[in-house]
Amino acid sequence: MRHLFCSALLISGCLPGVALAQSNPHHHENEQHRKAVGTVTGRVLLADGQPAEQVSVRIKGSERGTVTAADGSFVLRAPAGWQAIAVTCLGCVGQEVAVEVRPGQTAEVPPFTLARGEQQLSEVTVTGAKSLNQRTPSAGKMPIAPLDNPQATLTIERPVLEQQQALRLSDVLANVAGVYVMGATGGTQEEIASRGFAYSSANTFKNGVRYNNGIMPEVSSLERMEVLKGSAAILYGNVAAGGILNLVTKKPQFERGGSVGLRLGSYGFVKPQFDVYGAVGESQRVAYRLNGTWERADSYRDGVSSNRVYVNPSVLFRLTPKTELIVEGDYLRDNRTPDFGIGTVDYQVSESRSRFLNTADATNATNQTSATATLTTRLSNSWQLRAVGAFQRYANELKSASRPTANVIKPGRNYGNWLRSLQRTETGENYYLAQLDLTGTFRTGGIGHTLLVGADADQYNTNTLTYTTQAYDSVNILNPDRQLGRPKATASGYDALRYNTRTLGNTRRAGFYAQDLLSLTSNLKLLAGLRWSYQETPSDVYTYPAAPAAANGPATVRENRRYDQAFSPRVGLVFQPVKTTALFASYSNSFAPQANTVTDNQGGSLPPSLIDQFEVGIKNDLFKGALSANVTAYHIVNNNQAQTIQQYLGNGLNPSYNPNFPSAQELAGQVTSKGVEVDVQSRPVNGISFIAGYSYNNTAYTRSTLYTDGSRLRYNPAHTANLSLFYSFANVFANNGWLRGLSVGATGYYVGDRLAGRNPRLLYDKDGKLLTDTNKYLSLPNYVLFDASVGYAYERFSVRVKMANLLNELSYNVHDDNSVNPIAPRTFAATLSYKL
């Protein structure tokens, strides 16, 4: 017998059998009716101080009621006079407060804090508390419901991660249509993209703060993953057009609890993990959470291994009833063998899963530390102020053989022979962020407003050291055991490499933004906003002498400076013919600054590329919210993409070409991305829950002097599809204490037509004759991943067994033509856990 804590019980937000009429503060009553009613506002909190969403609030003795919003607030129209406002949810103590409602005025009631009820319930399991269109992503910065947002959003919650035993971010992304892994350079990271655009570190966030995605993030610490598809430039400035990811880690709780677990798997995989939380002592003002894990594994790849440690502490301070501070940090140390895959010969992959081409002493060592402080204060029931300060330290040292590329390995007498070289780099990065957001709701006449006004500033200090590259030996990529000899002049190893260049960067950015959701009528809403961004990108490149006698001596320096600014507008319209369906259309704009090394034909800087995005879609909550089905179509155009100025065109000498700047670029390219995405999610109904999705994308050059019109950009699958189905036998064996803990599940993920390699170019001689380019596409095989799992829970113990890639499909994640990494074969994993 257990108490059922209210924070886990927001499935319906109200007691069974109570039908509530949703109040609508934006409804246009006639003037006579207005005189007879007023407005009651307030806020509902959970016992740990977090907002309580979807909790029922009603006028006692009537059918008039509403549910709380994402920030726990509510607005309720009430008849004039003294009224009893009742707040109820299953498993918590109902609360009431008396308030005098004056005609045409607003009465604010003190915040409700939900306490645990005394009712004893037997082994109740609660999952899937909200539908897809009821989860407001915190990355959106505004307390607006997804049905009111003219943008495709998606949230994957913790129960799904546990059901699927997600280990890497790619496992989580398999539940999101149109967001995919585009490569795995060196086997040390997962390169992610959406709608034809890569997610750099500027597009990946943790708790709303950018983080360096050169390392694989730890999934065991996540409470949920949020996806904002399409442009988010108005909120975050310089981000790619495809969308952003926000990883939300587990938060402190005042209720004591936690878990310990052990995961074992194929190829020597071992991963113990823990998670504990509770109040500090008997305090009702300070709570903590600490979770962490250690992981080590070998690999299906010969000679590859990994070892990582992760710790994620956080503390919540309830400073006042309306103000709280969360301080979060994490530390990740990841050491693994760099692995650039199996190589290609003339842009052809020779099938293999295990062939390893790096040196035995190659290493990739990464340390990442972060700290974030978030202060939130409610100025009133309608206005909130949020301030964020953050710091992140990223350090990486890579010692590796160079990448085997298709353009240096040719068919013929020495088929597959490769001259292997050694390389070494050291990278350090300090990142700082300050952010301030003011959000609130108000009315002007008959129009309701949900307003966001904010500002942010961040800074990257980077220090990148490269060493000289030296020939090491010769091997055959098809038979690495066949060593062909070591060059006579080779160095003895990585430690003998000399300094080559050191680049010091100091990127500084600032932005101001405002966004307003206008409720024009009860079913017509307009979202409009604008951001101004400013960015400085100075860097100093130090080049060390090449002569051995002067190794690591004084260096020459070249200074680079860039100053960019841009406006990012956004406008969207939402029409809701019924409360559970929303049709939307939107336009947004984002920008992409050029690299410091990019110049025009006079040596000057090129302005940023501007990207226009158009999006239309429909969002549906069906069967009383049990099923959500959303469809989105998009059209993205980069009208001024930077591309290299060619010396010759089809009609002879290119007048834009300047021999003094042979690598100069111009804004003469156009890239268009268009596609459709379908996302379907259910809440658990009779033990069944599922997630499904489909995406189609075509990203191609639609105007270029360098590439043929219609040439597809690499890495982007034309089609993806996903399906996850889980079933709990709790209902079937409700009276059987042993069998009711049984559950089964299956997931499928399809990745269709993809291209890698290098886009063939249009190259001409001085007479305008088209030459044959050495660049070629590399076609990758489609594949379907099919996983199956069985779980069993009894009292505090649970075990889940998973078989991944049951069909043993073979395909590859490829970057260019030089990091061809096979996907994992059929593997086994089992997780045993115990709730504290």
Residue 28: predicted pLDDT: 41
CA distances from 278 to 253, 282, 289, 333 (A): 5, 9, 7, 26
User: CB count, 10 Å around CB of 31?
Assistant: 7
Spatial distance between the Cα atoms of 12 and 54, rounded to a whole number of angstroms: 7
Residue 356 lies in a domain: yes
* pLDDT, tens digit, 9 for 90 and up, residues 691-716: 999 999 999 999 999 999 999 999 99
* C-beta of residue 449 within 8 angstroms of C-beta of residue 517: yes
Residue 532 lies in a domain: yes
**Residue 314: pLDDT band with limits 50, 70, 90:** very high
* pLDDT, tens digit, 9 for 90 and up, residues 157-171: 999 999 999 999 999
675-693: average pLDDT: 93
Residue 734: predicted pLDDT: 63
Spatial distance between the Cα atoms of 789 and 829, rounded to a whole number of angstroms: 9
Residue 487 lies in a domain: yes
Token reading at 388: 């964020």
Residue 489: predicted pLDDT: 56
From the centroid of its chain, how far is CA 695? 17
Which of 130, 245, 121 lies closest to 180 in space, CA to CA? 245
DSSP element (H, E) containing 368: strand 363-378
Residue 170: predicted pLDDT: 94
538-552: average pLDDT: 76
Bridge partners of 283, per DSSP, are: none
Last residue of a domain, one of 53, 79, 113: 113
Last residue of a domain, one of 96, 113, 130: 113
For residue 275, how many C-alpha atoms fall within 13 Å in the half-sphere facing its CB? 18
The answer, yes or no, to whether residue 326 has pLDDT greater than 90, is: yes
- The three-class DSSP label of residue 413 is coil
Which of 831, 836, 799, 822 lies closest to 270 in space, CA to CA? 831
Residue 9: predicted pLDDT: 34
* C-beta of residue 580 within 8 angstroms of C-beta of residue 620: yes
Spatial distance between the Cα atoms of 425 and 447, rounded to a whole number of angstroms: 57
Cβ neighbors of 496 (< 8 A, separation 6 or more) are: 470
* pLDDT, tens digit, 9 for 90 and up, residues 246-292: 999 999 999 899 999 999 999 999 999 999 999 998 888 999 999 99
480-499: average pLDDT: 76
* pLDDT, tens digit, 9 for 90 and up, residues 110-122: 888 876 544 444 4
User: CB count, 10 Å around CB of 482?
Assistant: 12
The answer, yes or no, to whether residue 10 has pLDDT greater than 90, is: no
Residue 215 lies in a domain: no
Token reading at 411: 């068919």
- The three-class DSSP label of residue 659 is coil
* pLDDT, tens digit, 9 for 90 and up, residues 287-308: 999 999 999 999 999 999 999 9
Query: Using the 8-state DSSP alphabet, how is residue 753 labeled?
Result: -
For residue 655, how many C-alpha atoms fall within 13 Å in the half-sphere facing its CB? 1
The answer, yes or no, to whether residue 800 has pLDDT greater than 60, is: yes
* pLDDT, tens digit, 9 for 90 and up, residues 45-57: 876 667 787 788 8
* C-beta of residue 828 within 8 angstroms of C-beta of residue 192: no
Question: pTM score, two decimals?
Answer: 0.85
* pLDDT, tens digit, 9 for 90 and up, residues 804-828: 999 999 999 998 888 999 999 999 9
Residue 29: predicted pLDDT: 39
Which of 598, 106, 138, 660 lies closest to 382 in space, CA to CA? 106
Residue 694 lies in a domain: yes
Q: Which long-range contacts (CB under 8 A, 24 or more apart) does 696-699 make?
A: 697/178, 697/195, 697/196, 697/673, 698/673, 698/674, 699/195, 699/196, 699/197, 699/671, 699/672, 699/673
**Residue 492: pLDDT band with limits 50, 70, 90:** low
User: CB count, 10 Å around CB of 478?
Assistant: 17
The answer, yes or no, to whether residue 497 has pLDDT greater than 50, is: yes
Cβ neighbors of 315 (< 8 A, separation 6 or more) are: 252, 280, 286, 287, 288, 289, 326, 327
* C-beta of residue 384 within 8 angstroms of C-beta of residue 440: yes
Which of 80, 241, 317 lies closest to 587 in space, CA to CA? 241
* CATH number (domain holding residue 64): 2.60.40.10
Residue 479: predicted pLDDT: 84
> What is the rounded average pLDDT for all residues in the chain?
88
The top-scoring range by mean pLDDT among 396-405, 475-484, 691-700 is 691-700
Spatial distance between the Cα atoms of 640 and 191, rounded to a whole number of angstroms: 25
* pLDDT, tens digit, 9 for 90 and up, residues 59-95: 877 778 888 877 788 888 888 888 888 888 765 667 8
* C-beta of residue 567 within 8 angstroms of C-beta of residue 538: no
* C-beta of residue 368 within 8 angstroms of C-beta of residue 382: no
The answer, yes or no, to whether residue 398 has pLDDT greater than 50, is: yes
Residue 569 lies in a domain: yes
Cβ neighbors of 187 (< 8 A, separation 6 or more) are: 301, 304, 336, 337, 338, 339, 340, 341, 819, 821
CA triple 726-728-729, angle to 5 deg: 140
Residue 316: predicted pLDDT: 97
Token reading at 415: 């088929």
Residue 71: which domain range?
Answer: 6-113
Pairing of strands 106-108, 37-45: parallel
From the centroid of its chain, how far is CA 281? 35
Spatial distance between the Cα atoms of 293 and 273, rounded to a whole number of angstroms: 4
* pLDDT, tens digit, 9 for 90 and up, residues 103-151: 878 888 888 887 654 444 444 444 445 677 878 899 999 988 899 999 9
Spatial distance between the Cα atoms of 311 and 288, rounded to a whole number of angstroms: 14
Which of 633, 617, 620 lies closest to 680 in space, CA to CA? 620
Last residue of a domain, one of 113, 140, 155: 113
Task: Tell me how many domains the chain contains.
Answer: 2
Which of 558, 568, 2 lies closest to 235 in space, CA to CA? 568
**Residue 551: pLDDT band with limits 50, 70, 90:** low
* CATH number (domain holding residue 336): 2.40.170.20
Bridge partners of 241, per DSSP, are: none
Query: By percentage, how much of the chain surpasses pLDDT 90?
Result: 63
Which of 559, 665, 637, 642 lies closest to 593 in space, CA to CA? 642
Residue 120: predicted pLDDT: 41
| 3-state SS, one letter per residue, for 592-639 | ECCCCCCECCCCCECCCEEEEEEEEEEEEEECCCCEEEEEEEEEEEEE
* pLDDT, tens digit, 9 for 90 and up, residues 739-764: 788 999 999 999 999 999 999 999 99
Residue 186 lies in a domain: no
Residue 193 lies in a domain: no
